Chains A and B, each alone.
Chain A
């Protein structure tokens, strides 16, 4: 009985702690590994494990020429609302609602680090 009670307490505790708070913000690098690797690849070069049967190649995030053609705002919009929001492929998913705006901003910065480029032309 004691064992059962303490387990119930534990579940209650973890439950209230985790479900009543907003998710803690994660590091950009971890966000990229979790959500973006699958298509953009472990090095960000656009050759992720999913590309075999994809009709449009994911953007090479290390390509300074391609990546500097977009402003930070456009990249933010592509990540938040998906490829279609910037007249690109539906294969680039929308991540708004899954990621917070702060997390998306941190990803834009991380992409600038990957391409070693900036977006102001």
Chain B
């Protein structure tokens, strides 16, 4: 079974390459030219810590399984920071009087695209679909959770707040903020990532908290509620 999955993964990793090679499509050309210096478009994810530290931006070779296209199109035209301490966090912190702080002089604003470019790039990104075997399509079943209960789970019961902000200026700084996750990320991806972060990114510094299926669903309810609240 394991072997089977691995072969499958290899074929999936090939897909984006095949697409690149055949298409002259504008979005893919732009990605190759202006984005591939910082983003890996072909995979696989780094398997060493040195590889994680060298990474200049998030891996995009599974973008089509990860992001919501509407969010991509908007964000690419008006990028805002997602990881308060950049990538990798250890390269963007320094010792302060009361402990480590972010060295914001080392964080650069993200390149911006115009509307036409953003549309083409979004289309190209959505065609990069490595990792499909890690996703159970339709696994997420929409539902509700109270904000109080969601926050309790995220903070007190599971300790996720240590690394993730649930509002600007509140929470941990080494991971991506989660107050926009509900708008940014596909629900089934979030479930898959929280279930086993290292299946996507073998040396990433998010722990596997062995969450139950029920809790995975509840966290996604919470992220969706947070994102809705954040939009108002």
- Closest chain A residue, CB of each to CB of B85: A49
Report how many A-B pairs have Cβ atoms within 8 Å: 128
- Give the contacts of B145-175 with A (CB-CB under 8 A): 155-159, 161-163, 170-174
Docked CA distance A48–B100 (Å): 5
Give the contacting residue for A97; candidates B53, B157, B162, B208; CB below 8 A.
B208
Using C-beta atoms within 8 Å of the partner chain, give the interface range for chain A: 35 or more
**In the complex, chain A residues whose CB is within 8 Å of the CB of B38:** none
Number of interface residues of B (CB under 8 A): 50
| Residue B48 at the chain A interface, CB threshold 8 Å | yes
- Give the contacts of A6-50 with B (CB-CB under 8 A): 7-8, 11-12, 14-16, 18-20, 23-24, 26, 30-31, 33-35, 37-39, 41-43, 45, 47-50
**Structural contact, A47 and B202, CB atoms closer than 8 A:** no
**In the complex, chain B residues whose CB is within 8 Å of the CB of A48:** 99-100, 174
- Give the contacts of B7-22 with A (CB-CB under 8 A): 9-10, 13-14, 17-18, 21
| Residue A86 at the chain B interface, CB threshold 8 Å | no
Say yes or no: A20-B174 contact (C-beta < 8 A), given A15-B13, A35-B205, A51-B99: no
Docked CA distance A7–B49 (Å): 25
Q: Output the least CB separation between A2 and chain B (Å).
A: 11
Q: Output the least CB separation between B99 and chain A (Å).
A: 3
- Closest chain B residue, CB of each to CB of A33: B90
Q: Mark B113-145, 1 if CB is under 8 A from A, else 0.
A: 000000000000000000000000000000000
**Structural contact, B100 and A11, CB atoms closer than 8 A:** no
| Residue B104 at the chain A interface, CB threshold 8 Å | no
Docked CA distance A74–B204 (Å): 25
- Closest chain A residue, CB of each to CB of B97: A47
Q: Output the least CB separation between B155 and chain A (Å).
A: 8
Docked CA distance A43–B48 (Å): 23
Docked CA distance A35–B50 (Å): 13
Query: A: which residues have CB within 8 A of B?
Result: 3-4, 7-8, 11-12, 14-16, 18-20, 23-24, 26, 30-31, 33-35, 37-39, 41-43, 45, 47-55, 82, 89-95, 97-98
7 A-B pairs in the complex with CB atoms less than 8 angstroms apart: A11-B17, A15-B44, A18-B47, A30-B50, A91-B159, A93-B162, A95-B207
What are the 8 closest A-B residue pairs judged by CB atoms, nearest first?
Answer: A47-B99, A93-B207, A38-B174, A50-B172, A4-B21, A15-B10, A90-B159, A49-B100
Query: B: which residues have CB within 8 A of A?
Result: 6, 9-10, 13-14, 17-18, 21, 42-44, 47-50, 52-53, 85, 88-90, 93-95, 98-102, 155-159, 161-163, 170-174, 198, 202-203, 205, 207-210
